[in-house]
A and B are shown apart, each in its own frame.
Chain A
Amino acid sequence: MSGERLLTIKQLSVTFGGLDALRDLDFHVDEGEIVSVIGPNGAGKTTCFNMISGMVTPTAGEIIFQDQPLTGLDPNQVTARGIARTFQNVRLFANMTILENVMVAQHCRTKQGLWGALFQTAAFKKEEEDIRAWGEHVLGFFGTRLIGYRLDQPASTLSYANRRRLEIARAMATKPTILLLDEPVAGMNPKESEELTGLIGKLRSEWGFTIVMIEHDMGVVRDVSDRVVVLDHGETIAQGSYEEVSNNPDVIEAYLGRPAEEAS
Chain B
Amino acid sequence: MTETIALLPARGILDQNWRKIVNYGLLIAFAEIFIALANMPVALDDFVLIEPILSLGYLFLLCLPLLLGFGIGREKVLEGIADHAKGAREVVAGGCVGLLGGGGLSLLVLLLDNFDLRDPLVNWSPQLLDLLAFDNGVGFGVVIWLAIGGGLGLLGGSMHLIPPIARRVVATMALAVLAAAVLEAILSDMSEDLYLEWLADWVYFIRGGVTLHGAVAVAAVAAAYALWGSRAVKGAKATFQALEGAERRQANKVGLLTVAVLTILLPLVLGKITNELLANVGLFLLLALGLNIVIGLAGILDLGYVAFFAVGGYTTAILTSPNRGDSWPDWLPQLWWVVALLVVVVLAGLTGLFIGAPVIRMRGDYLAIVTLGFGEIIRLLFLSDWLGGYTGGAQGITTVPGVQVFGLATVRGTDPRAVFYLVAFFCAIAIYISWRLEKSRIGRAWMAVREDESVAEAMGINTVNVKLLAFVVGAVLASFSGAIFAAKVGSVFPSSFIILVSIVILIVVIVGGMGNILGVIAGSAVLIGVLGGPRQPGLLQELSEFKLLIYGALLIWMMLKRPEGLIPNVRRTRELHQEEFLQDAWLKGEIDLDDEEGNGGEVAPA
* Chain A interface (Cβ < 8 Å from any Cβ of B): 53-55, 74-76, 79-80, 84-85, 87, 91, 93-96, 100, 103-110, 112-114, 116-118, 120, 124, 127-128, 131, 142-145, 149, 153-154, 156-159, 161-162, 170-171, 174, 189, 191-192, 194-195, 197-199, 201, 223
Contacts and interface: CB of A to CB of B under 8 A. Distances in A.
Given A79-B460, A158-B592, A93 B452 contact: yes
Contacts of B440: 112, 116-117, 124, 128
Between A103, A107, A153, A194, the greatest number of chain B beta carbons within 10 A of the residue's beta carbon is seen for A107
17 contacts: A76-B457, A93-B448, A95-B574, A95-B575, A100-B447, A104-B461, A107-B448, A110-B441, A116-B440, A120-B436, A142-B600, A142-B603, A156-B574, A157-B591, A159-B593, A174-B459, A198-B606
Interface in B399-444: 432-433, 436-437, 439-444
Contacts of A124: 440
A55 B444 contact: no
Interface of B: 432-433, 436-437, 439-445, 447-448, 451-452, 454-463, 469, 473, 571, 574-575, 578, 581-582, 585, 590-596, 599-606
B605 A191 contact: yes
A158 B442 CA distance: 25
B595 A162 contact: yes
B586 to A, nearest CB: 8
B600 A104 contact: no
Contact of B441 (A107, A118, A223): A107
Contacts of A170: 459
A79 B605 contact: no
A95 B595 contact: no
Contact of A197 (B445, B462, B606): B606
A259 to B, nearest CB: 37
Contacts of B456: 93, 104
B436 A144 contact: no
Contact of B451 (A93, A110, A118, A161): A93
A85 B582 CA distance: 28
Contacts of A87: 455
Contacts, number: 155
Between B436, B459, B601, the greatest number of chain A beta carbons within 10 A of the residue's beta carbon is seen for B459
B508 to A, nearest CB: 23
Nearest to A220: B606
Given A131-B441, A157-B585, A79 B574 contact: no
Contact of B605 (A109, A159, A194): A194
Given A76-B457, A117-B437, 20 more contacts: A54-B458, A55-B458, A76-B462, A95-B575, A96-B571, A100-B444, A104-B456, A104-B461, A107-B460, A108-B461, A112-B440, A114-B469, A117-B436, A117-B439, A154-B571, A159-B591, A162-B595, A198-B603, A199-B606, A223-B606
Contact of A79 (B454, B458, B600): B458
A106 B441 CA distance: 9
Contact of B592 (A105, A159, A197): A159
Given A114-B469, A117-B440, A85 B458 contact: yes
A107 to B, nearest CB: 5
B605 A118 contact: no
A55 B453 CA distance: 12
A213 to B, nearest CB: 15
Given A104-B448, A201-B606, A157 B582 contact: yes
B451 A95 contact: yes
Given A117-B437, A117-B441, A161 B595 contact: yes
Given A142-B603, A143-B601, A162-B595, A96 B590 contact: no
Contact of B445 (A75, A107, A192): A107
Contacts of A144: 599-602
A52 B140 CA distance: 80
Nearest to B594: A159
B437 A118 contact: yes
A65 to B, nearest CB: 15
A162 B444 CA distance: 22
Contacts of A131: 441
Nearest to B438: A117
A96 B451 contact: yes
Between B457, B582, B591, the greatest number of chain A beta carbons within 10 A of the residue's beta carbon is seen for B457
A53 B458 CA distance: 7
A108 B441 contact: no
Contacts of A91: 452, 455
A157 B590 contact: yes
A199 B437 contact: no
A195 B605 contact: yes
B571 A118 contact: no
